[in-house]
Amino acid sequence: MGSRVNIRRAAVPARRFAPQAAFARAFLAPLFALSLAGCATLDPYGQTPGVGPALPPEAPRTTGVETPDSTQHKRLVDMFGGEYKSYTTERYLNAILARLAAASEKPGESYRVTILNSQVVNAFALPNGNVYVTRGMLALANDSSELAAVMAHEIGHITAGHAGQRAEAEKDQQLIRKVTDVLQKDRGGAVQARGVASLANFSRQQEFDADQIGIRTIAKAGYDPFGAARFLTSLSRSASLRASLFNQRAAGQDIASSHPSTPERIARATAAARAVGGTATGETQRSDYLAAIDGIDFGDNPAEGLVRGRRFTHPRLGFGFLAPDGFVLENTPQAVLGIAGGGAEALRLDSVSLSTDTSLESYLAMDWISGLQPASVRSLTVNGLPAATGLAKSGEWQFRVGVVRLGGDVYRLIFATTSLNERTDQRFKDSLESFRKITSDESGKLQPLHLRMVIAGSSDTAETLAGRMALADRPLEWFLLLNGLDRPGVLKAGESFKIVAD
């Protein structure tokens, strides 16, 4: 359902940025929505963060034959930032899986969970019984029946043999395209387009089928069958909130974008729940579930960089910078991205490898960004680090481009605006000049945020508890989303609620 992309050392001149078209479309829009792959690593060495230090080449190695299942498991875990270890949470989820297995269409099968160290909202399963859920998925669910619905949906894909069916469908489409290309080259494109649409419809139907299987399964296992519809509602709200933060349509690679339209899924899930349970029946186990996820990490994985308001810090790579005022940052698999002014201003931070024999000034002049004005290139020092900056223009976009050398890597800060004036350019320059090395002591003090459970007092409201959230952007909206609440106001005293805390 997606892959995790590390920012590795790229070949110079890396890829070319075409400011007007690429910046507005490929450069920004697909990346501002919630990414399936979660945090950017900005890792020039391609090592997998969050799973311990890399072993030296001379370290003793175990021997044995890798099975396809173990290889696939390792690849999936690496794509999503490694395993997230919480014995209490894992044990609780495996207990849910055991109940689901006994109630599934193939009760003789067994399943086991792996929690992935990613803030994105996703879950999937392999035919061998490995079920994967992200930290983001756990944070969004509000009770055991909701999380059970997610995992039962994935089990439904397994019991229905959807992976094999899709593989066969893809083979059929490939054969059809090959035959068409030989016989009627002029119609090859049209046939390919129809094939893509056919596979999309095929996958769409599989998702609906898995929903239906999952709802029947959780009902049979004794969980509230309406948990599926509740979770899908939260999923839709999550995608909308994350998209609105970046003034973008909800079109990322999270679970919402790779599945059928959420309103339609909600309607079908509600109908299926009524069919198996009538009014709300079965267990929700809200308090047990909240206790099981109390204290888990929330948001960015520190090994892959942390966003705190306008500040981005990468403890492992040892640098940080402060975005201009008004910017909202997103740490994606490809880069750190930011947007301000409703899309009129944007930034991108990524890295490339560059030989020390190549000066930063000459690197700026290489053909990797369109419209660079050679006369604008200037050398400077940023907090003791060699740097260079310049201006570029293409169509309506104007750019302040900065490159900073740190160790064996060059970090590229690209600021874009539709109106570059003296004040705007100074804001961009100030941000570039905030780039600095951080000390090991500073790195050690940077810790992830956590999901904490708090008990509402008699005078507590959504607003008062949201005021305790360690989030800079829209804390009230995040509080309502994480707790499945429709609107602010008075809370039920004595009930537990999630907040995000240091």
pLDDT single digits (tens) 150-187: 999 999 988 876 444 444 444 434 443 444 444 444 44
The whole-number pLDDT of residue 188 equals: 43
- pTM listed for this prediction: 0.73
Q: How is residue 211 written in tokens?
A: 């929903």
Please provide residue 227's backbone torsions phi and psi, each rounded to the nearest 5 degrees.
-60, -35
Determine the residue type at 374. P
CB 307 within 8 A of CB 300: yes
As a CATH number, domain 19-49+302-438 is: 3.40.1000.10
CA nearest to 246, candidates 322, 329, 331, 349: 329
Please provide residue 342's backbone torsions phi and psi, each rounded to the nearest 5 degrees.
65, 25
Q: What gap in Å lies between CA 420 and CA 255, rounded to an integer?
A: 37
Q: What gap in Å lies between CA 256 and CA 121, rounded to an integer?
A: 9
The whole-number pLDDT of residue 279 equals: 61
Cβ neighbours around 205 below 10 Å, total:
12
- The single residue listed with the structure tokens 């349970």 is 277
The whole-number pLDDT of residue 387 equals: 97
Q: What gap in Å lies between CA 436 and CA 382, rounded to an integer?
A: 7
The whole-number pLDDT of residue 204 equals: 76
The whole-number pLDDT of residue 8 equals: 31
CATH 3.10.350 correct for 448-501: yes
- The single residue listed with the structure tokens 């299926």 is 272
CA separation (Å) from 70 to 65, 127, 349, 408, 450? 10, 12, 35, 34, 30
Q: What gap in Å lies between CA 363 and CA 219, rounded to an integer?
A: 61
CB 211 within 8 A of CB 269: yes
Please provide residue 445's backbone torsions phi and psi, each rounded to the nearest 5 degrees.
-85, -10
Distance of CA 18 to the CA centre of its chain: 25
Q: What gap in Å lies between CA 211 and CA 200, rounded to an integer?
A: 17
Q: Where are the domains of the chain?
A: 19-49+302-438, 68-298, 448-501
Q: What gap in Å lies between CA 255 and CA 253, rounded to an integer?
A: 7
Residue ranges, the chain, pLDDT below 70 = 1-69, 161-203, 246-261, 278-280
Coil, strand, or helix at residue 289?
A: helix
Q: Residues 316-350: pLDDT tens digits? A: 899 999 999 999 898 877 789 999 888 889 999 99
State the pairing for strand pair 130-134/112-116: parallel
Coil, strand, or helix at residue 9?
A: coil
Coil, strand, or helix at residue 22?
A: helix
Q: Is the peptide bond before 13 cis (omega within 30 degrees of 0)?
A: yes
